[in-house]
Amino acid sequence: MNLISRTDELAEACARLGSAPFVAVDTEFMREQTFWPRLCLIQIAADGTEVLIDSMAPGLDLTPFFELMISERVLKVFHSARQDVEIVHHLARVIPHPIFDTQVAAMVCGFGEAVSYSMLVKRLLNRNLDKTSRFTDWSRRPLSERQLTYALGDVIHLRDLYPKLRTQLDKSERASWLNEEMAVLTDPATYELHPEQAWKRLKMRIKTPKALAVLMELAAWREREAQTQDVPRARILKDEAMYDIASQAPRTIEDLGSLRTLHNGFARSMRGRAVLEAVGRGLERDPETIPPIERGEPMPPEAQAVVDLLRVLLKARAGSHGVAPKLIATSDELEEIARSDGPDAPVLRGWRKKLFGDDALALKRGELALVIRKGEVAVIAPEGAAPDALTAKKPEDEA
């Protein structure tokens, strides 16, 4: 099995692939010990062509690959594209375009929100995936024949999945839905990491504005350190220690050293001094820049009742149109609609608004009602209009 390890070989292969209408792309990477994903292998397949690229080969220039990724003449097909796109963006500061994500397409076409890649391959191609090499060490060289066979098989299946999903998507006339999702995946802003926003990744256990201000500064410092040193965030400072420091707000080495979540000697290290500086910045932070703390107050009974009705409507609409409910709206979005007088959620924009958002707002306003007719959920429209039966249909039934 040929594994490309030279730049001239890569350039020749990408030139051939550049004449294909679409290419299936997959990557193998490691990130357990690093902040940024470490690209270990690239797999590409087009009609009659399969390529394996040893991205770790000494002296290999990946420029031909990156140029292929941004060629507007070639559609790039991924499954669960976000991490693959993130890798390309980090290495070359470019975004693959145009792209087609088979995972999102499957949800749009009604295969459910929990359908796995192996299940999709089984249902559409009637093939069984070999998963034995999935969690092997892709950074170790040489790669085994079993690893290469597994990696190449994944991208060959992906190449063969695309035409079938494309056909179903075109039949359902939902290409515009997918295009909206791909616009998000190809937006550089999706992959920008802002240290000052890193605190939002943490599960909030903070009770005072002062503690939140300290946590915000600590999280920003940890994010910058992890990115610069290319190590996992927890290698810099564990979350438990972050909460402890934010709550106690130590100002001296002695105060910092007394915290049980920090190992002996941390307080007198360079990181310990940096932590104390971050605590100081947090305590001096302008109160106007500290967001309000969400208290996790229980939802009022009347709002919870609205959420319950919205869930029924969502499941009914999703079943009727053969779309995964999770792709239409999240639980947080339903709660926002129920709580807010002026909700601004993704479900109230684009195709989601037409499919569900408009009816969700009408239901909240009392302009629609849900009833059961012949065992099916139906919507009663205003002025006695005929109900719209929300029956589940298979994606292939839709024209």
First CA to last CA across the chain, in angstroms?
43
pLDDT above 60 (res 396): no
Contact 37, 31 (CB under 8 A): yes
pLDDT above 70 (res 387): no
Question: What's the pLDDT band for 393 if we cut at 50, 70, 90?
Answer: very low
Residue 302: per-residue pLDDT: 84
Residue 1: per-residue pLDDT: 67
Higher pLDDT, 12 or 172: 12
Residue 113: per-residue pLDDT: 77
Residue 24: per-residue pLDDT: 98
Buried b (16+ CB within 10 A) or exposed e, 89-121: beebeebbbbbbbbbbbbbbbbbbeebebeebb
Q: What percent of the chain has pLDDT over 70?
A: 94
Contact 356, 314 (CB under 8 A): yes
Higher pLDDT, 249 or 293: 249
- Cα distance between residue 241 and residue 360, in whole Å: 42
CB atoms closer than 10 angstroms to residue 399: 6
Question: If we measure between CA atoms, which residue out of 275, 277, 278, 251 comes closest to residue 263?
Answer: 275
pLDDT above 70 (res 174): yes
Residue 104: per-residue pLDDT: 94
State the average pLDDT over residues 26-40: 95
State the average pLDDT over residues 246-274: 95
Helix 209-229 with 270-283: angle, nearest 10 deg: 140
Residue 296: per-residue pLDDT: 59
**Cβ contacts of residue 195 below 8 Å, gap of 6+?**
219, 220, 221, 223, 224, 227
Q: pLDDT tens digits, residue range 42-100?
A: 999 999 999 999 999 999 999 999 999 999 999 999 999 999 999 999 999 999 999 99
Half-sphere exposure for 273 (CA within 13 Å, toward CB): 3
DSSP reduced 3-state for 12? helix
Mean pLDDT of the chain: 91
Q: Where along the chain do its domains lie?
A: 3-191, 195-289, 301-397
Backbone angles phi, psi at 379, to 5 degrees: -105, 130
State the average pLDDT over residues 143-165: 95
Q: Which of 160-164, 234-238, 386-390 has the lowest mean pLDDT?
A: 386-390
- The full length of the chain comes to 399
Residue 376: per-residue pLDDT: 82
Residue 297: per-residue pLDDT: 63
State the average pLDDT over residues 275-296: 90
Residue 206: per-residue pLDDT: 85
β-bridge mates for residue 78, sequence order? 101
Q: pLDDT tens digits, residue range 78-89?
A: 999 999 999 999
CB atoms closer than 10 angstroms to residue 46: 21
Question: What's the pLDDT band for 321 if we cut at 50, 70, 90?
Answer: confident
Residue 242: per-residue pLDDT: 96
Contact 209, 287 (CB under 8 A): yes
**One fold for 3-191 and 301-397:** no
Q: pLDDT tens digits, residue range 115-141?
A: 889 999 999 999 998 877 778 899 999
Question: If we measure between CA atoms, which residue out of 302, 319, 393, 308 comes closest to residue 356?
Answer: 319
- Fold for the domain defined by 195-289: DNA polymerase; domain 1 (1.10.150)
Question: What's the pLDDT band for 295 if we cut at 50, 70, 90?
Answer: low
CB atoms closer than 10 angstroms to residue 181: 19
Question: What's the pLDDT band for 389 if we cut at 50, 70, 90?
Answer: very low
pLDDT above 60 (res 232): yes
pLDDT above 90 (res 391): no
**CATH for the stretch 3-191:** 3.30.420.10
pTM (two decimals): 0.84
Q: Which of 15-24, 203-212, 276-285 has the lowest mean pLDDT?
A: 203-212
Written as one string, the DSSP assignment of 91-152 is HHS----SEEEHHHHHHHTTS-SS--HHHHHHHHH------TTTTS-TTSSSPPHHHHHHHH
Question: What's the pLDDT band for 388 if we cut at 50, 70, 90?
Answer: very low
Residue 369: per-residue pLDDT: 87
Q: Is domain 301-397 classified as CATH 1.20.120.530? A: no
Residue 34: per-residue pLDDT: 96
Residue 372: per-residue pLDDT: 87
Residue 21: per-residue pLDDT: 98
